[in-house]
Every structure is written in structure tokens, then in C-alpha cells.
Amino acid sequence: MTFHVLTLFPEMIREFCAHSIIGRAVKSEIVDIKPLNIRDFAVNKHGQVDDAPYGGGAGMVMMAQPIFDAYTSIAVQKNTPVIYLSPQGRILTQNRAKALSKEKEIILICGHYEGLDERVIEEIVTEEVSIGDYILTGGEPAACVLIDTVSRLIPGVLGKEESHQNESFSTNLLEYPHYTRPPVFRGREVPEVLLSGHHANIEKWRHEESLKRTKSKRPDIL
């Protein structure tokens, strides 16, 4: 899967994708990250990519032309999703991430300032995605979150021990609590059932804990 990322800060994307599980997926060529610097497509000699808003008001607006030219410089198949990271978008969910993980290519556009000239959104964007109801300084952290969430669902990206069979949201329940050595930490003991070796009882306990947790922490997803 290739992620083309249109951004003013390609290093933010490159750095994020160089580490941990995503870094490994890039090295093994399961995931390809192609940041594109929007400034490279500016036409005036100052490298200008933003301008004052028509109608007045505070802030700057990212000009349509450099973003459009960056987009047209990428040869992608028709129907490739073109996602604008924006707090106005639909909130990213595990289900949407699953669907996106089946794409061959995805184009991500990171905005800054007051956002993009509306006409480039109308022209090329197929969907707007938000990572939550709060405002970031730019789209890059959101693009990294999307790349991370989608990539780990691509077969081969997670190792066996990082499996996502039982994880939160795959069953609409939060995960049960986990413990490892030592058996007692600051007087807190590992639940006895986990030391019993009785697999059916352990399964049952874990399911009950998942239900309890979901009811108390995230009743909205039940």
C-alpha cells in the first residue's frame, strides 16, 4: 500500500514512519510512504503557498494551485481515495480504517492555517477525515494517525505476537486487563484465575472483565 502525503512538512511524516512497527513495514516494503512537499509546486519565486482570504478576516488560506499541481504530479489509478485531514471530516473509526486498509494507494492532504481554498477540495478531495473533535496545528499528526491505524491492519504488518484478534474495537468490547511478572507488585496480586492454568475459566474471566470495562469506560460502544 502506498500513502502519498501532500504536506508542507514532509520530514514530520518521514520521521514518524521511520520507527517501530510502521518503520519495519516500510523496510519490508509492505507499506510505502511518499511525502510530497507542496512548496515544491509553488509558482512564484518566494515559494508562496498561502494567501490572505477573500472577504477579509484573520489567518491565511492555502492556495489551490500548488496543491492541485502536487496532486496531478502523482500518477494514481482512478478511484484512489483523496483524503483531506480536517476537523470538519468524518471521525476516523476502526471500521473505516479496515476499509481503507484494502486500498492499493491513498492520497492524504495536510492543511495548515485556516485551511485549503475550497475549490481544490471540490476538485480533488473524495473525503474529509477528522481524528477527533479538537483542533491540531496542522494535518500532519492526523495523517500519521491514519497511516498508523490503517497500516497495522494490512496483512504482514503486525507480527504474531502483535496480533489483533482480541483487541479493543474488533469485538465492540474493550480489552480485558493484562498482567505479566512479577506475581505481586507493590502488594497488588495478579488475579488468581490467570495463574490457575484453567483455560476455560481464564476465557470466561477475560470476557466478563471486557464487558465490565466497556460498561464502565465506554458504554457508548456497547
Does 135 help bind ligand ADE (rule: CB under 6 A)? yes
Considering the complex, state which of residue 86 and residue 210 has its C-beta at the smaller distance from ligand ADE.
Answer: 86
Closest CB to ligand ADE belongs to which residue? Answer: 142
Does 83 help bind ligand ADE (rule: CB under 6 A)? no
From 47, 132, 177, 183, residue interacting with ligand ADE (rule: CB under 6 A): 132
Judge contact between 80 and 71, C-beta under 8 A.
no
Does 82 help bind ligand ADE (rule: CB under 6 A)? no
Structural Rg of the chain based on CA atoms: 22
> Quick one: which H or E segment has residue 12?
helix 10-16
Helices (H) and strands (E) in the chain, counts: 8, 9
Residues 159-198, interacting with ligand ADE (CB under 6 A): none
β pairing state of 32-37 and 2-7: parallel
Which residues lie closer than 8 Å to 129 by C-beta, 6 or more apart? Answer: 83, 84, 85, 86, 89, 90, 91, 92, 96, 142, 146
Does 7 help bind ligand ADE (rule: CB under 6 A)? no
Cα–Cα separations (whole angstroms), residue 155 to 15, 145, 147, 164: 23, 18, 14, 11
Does 86 help bind ligand ADE (rule: CB under 6 A)? yes
Considering the complex, state which of residue 106 and residue 131 has its C-beta at the smaller distance from ligand ADE.
Answer: 131
Judge contact between 193 and 205, C-beta under 8 A.
yes
With CB under 6 A as the contact rule, which of the stretches 43-51, 65-73, 133-141, 199-207 interacts with ligand ADE?
Answer: 133-141
Considering the complex, state which of residue 135 and residue 184 has its C-beta at the smaller distance from ligand ADE.
Answer: 135
With CB under 6 A as the contact rule, which of the stretches 124-132, 147-155, 164-172, 204-212 interacts with ligand ADE?
Answer: 124-132
115: cell is 485551511
User: How many whole angstroms separate alpha carbon 213 and alpha carbon 222?
Assistant: 11
Does 87 help bind ligand ADE (rule: CB under 6 A)? yes
Considering the complex, state which of residue 136 and residue 174 has its C-beta at the smaller distance from ligand ADE.
Answer: 136
Does 10 help bind ligand ADE (rule: CB under 6 A)? no
Considering the complex, state which of residue 138 and residue 191 has its C-beta at the smaller distance from ligand ADE.
Answer: 138
Apex 59 CA angle, 135 and 85, nearest 5: 35
Interface contacts to ligand ADE, rule CB under 6 A: 85-87, 130-132, 134-136, 139, 142
